[in-house]
Structure formats: structure tokens, C-alpha cells
Amino acid sequence: MARYRLTDASLVADIASARRRFAERSAILVETVLLRRRAAAKLRGAEDWLFTDEALQQATAQAVAEHRARRLAGAVVHDATCSIGTELAALAFSAELVVGSDIDPVRLAMARHNLESAGARVMLCRADALHPVTRDAVVLVDPARRTGSRRRFDPRAYQPPLDELLGVLAVRDYAVKCAPGIDFAAVAQMGFDGEVEVTSLSGSVREACLWSPGLARAGVRRRATLLDTGEQLTDADPGDCAVAPAGRWIIDPDGAVVRAGLVRHYAARHGLWQLDPDIAYLSGDRLPEGVRGFEVLEQLPFGERHLRQALSAREVGATEILVRGVDVDPDVLRSRLRLRGPAQASVVVTRLGSGAASRATAFICRPSR
């Protein structure tokens, strides 16, 4: 089946051919091949793995799983929601001993096949994450946050529910994977008193992981991990930075830094300053290594007419628009500007100041890349 193209143009003919060759097995064969192709962007070496669509959506990206496995190197780990085995495949080569369990027998069978394909030796059993079958192991849990294609935003609606899970794990060392947008205050109200690690990969925030106090570094309650650059920041790092007008560059910090509330810590580390104490944009006279920034060409009070005139004077026809602190839809603004010209530019729109002194400001910039 893998020899079929299965593109939009060939899909009808390919499925018809598959039905003639494979009869009632054709649907699952087509689905498996398509899922394996989708998995290539998330997992290396998964060409022979088995998936369900929902399990693949929920699967941890390999780089994120490998990072977590490094934090758990040398430990005895029980992945209590192992699903198709993504986390287990990473843990098997760093932990002292690994056990996997899941309540879904189909996913458990897939995990067994996938781990054999990866050459990983892991003990597997069927069990409910709310009824632990191990003692003295670090428990790793990835509660389901989807129902079909719909996301569950209330952590009490996770499967298993986060409040029940934290109650069960209260006497254990654990790591619980959550949605990156989870309400940290709500988690604290559930009794969580450990470290929240927000992780980004390929420019997007992937997860917030709750690490029990026994697995957290002393004094750390927030951590941002940027897998693209290998950088980590915590709330135990220095966080003093100035607030000043824009310098040569404007920097939009990585989403993990913003989500973890470590913008000032990032600025202090890299010699940057804030444009406004309540806005995440930073500025500096040089860019941190490997970071994309926006070189300021012009600053003006924000207004569609003034912005259109300034961009037209520069013959800008294509623009990237970034917005913080101002009620502006970038796509709507771009269409209303009706720009024409051969040049390209980035526009950063933000609010500066507070109260009566607050003003919306636009920066016309040249992106570093």
C-alpha cells in the first residue's frame, strides 16, 4: 500500500485499486499509510509503526519526549498512559527501568508492536492511570485532551481528570503533560506545588509539564525550555531589566518564554529591555544568537491612514504584521491597507504606556530573516 501516491489527485483511483487488491482490509491499510506519512513530521524511525488518528494527534513529538527522557535519565519510570508508545520509545534508552500501561487494549497492542520496531524493551500491562500498579517509580501521565477533533480546555475534563490524577499521585514523584494554555492558578488550587515547564519546538509551544516537587530544582516554579536553541530559563534566574524606547531591534520572545512568564528573565540574560512593562516585546541594540528580530526603520503613532502612507512611501506591497496589546486583527488590517509595491516589511503594532498616557504605536521594520 505504501507504493500508492494517495494524493488529492490520485486518491479515488488509489482507493479503488486498493479495494480490488485488499478487499475489506483496504480502508485500514490506506489509513495506516496516510498516518505513517503524517507521523514523519513528528517522529523519526516510525515508518513501521501503527497508529490511530487520535493517538497520532495526541502523541508527543519525539524531540519533546527525548528531552523529558533526559530529565528522567537513570530513574525507574512508569508511563501510566503510554498509548502507542511514543514516550516509552524515548525512555527505554535513558531510564533504569521502564513500565508502560494504558486502559485502551488497542493502543497497548500498537505500543507493543511499535516498541519492538524501535528495538526498545519495555514491560507493558493494561491498567487504569487512577489505580497505580507500581510503587516507588516516577509516574508519567499524558491525560487525553481531545474528544475526536475537539480539545478539552478544562483540566477537570481531561481523561483522566487532572484534579483526580493529582490527588492519586500526591505521594509520588510524577510528571504530568498538560496543554500549554492551562491555567496555572487553577492547577495550584488543585494542590500542585511543583515546577511548570513550558516547552517549545519549531517555533510553537507544545506543552506545559507539571513536575512534582521531588523532581524540580529547589526554588524553581517556572521553566521555559526552547528545544530549537537548547536554551532554558527559570524563575530563579535574574529578572531585572529596564523599560526604555526601542533600540535597533525589536524581539518577540519565544512563546514558551512568554507563557512561562519569564520575559524579564530572558531580557536580563540577553541584555535587552522592555518597550512597556506589561507587553512582551523586547528591544536591544543586537540580537541574541539564532533569534529572529525586527530592525526598526520607522516609528509612528498607529493609525491606518498614517501607516498606509508610510508603507506606500517605502513601496511596500507585502507585510508581516505582529500585534500585542492593541485590538487589531492582522489579517483584517493587511487587507484594509491595500498595499502595492515590490518591497517587503514587517510591522509591529503595540501599546506603549498606561492609563491616559497609553498610545498605540507602529514600528516599520526589516526582519532579520
Measure the CA–CA gap between 178 and 155, rounded to whole angstroms.
8
Radius of gyration (Cα) for the chain, nearest Å? 24
C-alpha cell of residue 125:
500491562
Q: In terms of residues, how long is the chain?
A: 369
Q: Could you tell me which of 293, 303, 223 has the C-alpha nearest to residue 251?
A: 293
The set of long-range contacts for 68-72, using a CB threshold of 8 Å and a minimum separation of 24, is: 68/140, 68/175, 68/209, 69/93, 69/94, 69/95, 70/94, 71/175, 71/211, 71/215, 72/138, 72/140, 72/175
pLDDT computed for residue 145 by the predictor: 84
Report the side by side order of strands in the sheet with 359-367.
Answer: 273-274, 282-284, 249-251, 294-301, 359-367, 343-352, 316-324
Pairwise CA distance, residues 159 & 144, whole Å = 5
How much is the pLDDT for 150?
Answer: 67
Other Cβ atoms closer than 10 A to 107: 23
Cα→Cα distances 291→180, 238, 351, 365, Å: 22, 20, 23, 15
Is 41 within 8 Å of 62 (Cβ atoms)?
A: no
pLDDT along the chain (369 residues), means of 10: 93 94 95 95 93 93 97 98 97 96 97 95 96 95 78 85 96 96 94 97 96 95 96 96 96 97 97 96 94 96 95 96 95 94 96 86 96
CA 146-152-155 angle, to 5 degrees, is 120
Query: What's the pLDDT at 151?
Result: 73
**133: helix, strand or coil:** coil
What pLDDT score was predicted for residue 76?
A: 98
Task: Give CA–CA dist 262/264, Å, rounded.
Answer: 6
> In whole angstroms, what is the distance from residue 312 CA to residue 75 CA?
60
111 grid coordinates: 505500543
User: How many other CB atoms are there within 10 angstroms of residue 297's CB atom?
Assistant: 13
Contact between 187 and 152 (Cβ < 8 Å): no
pLDDT (0 to 100) of residue 147: 65
- Separation between Cα atoms, residue 298 and residue 295, nearest integer Å: 9
Nine-digit cell at 327?
485590538
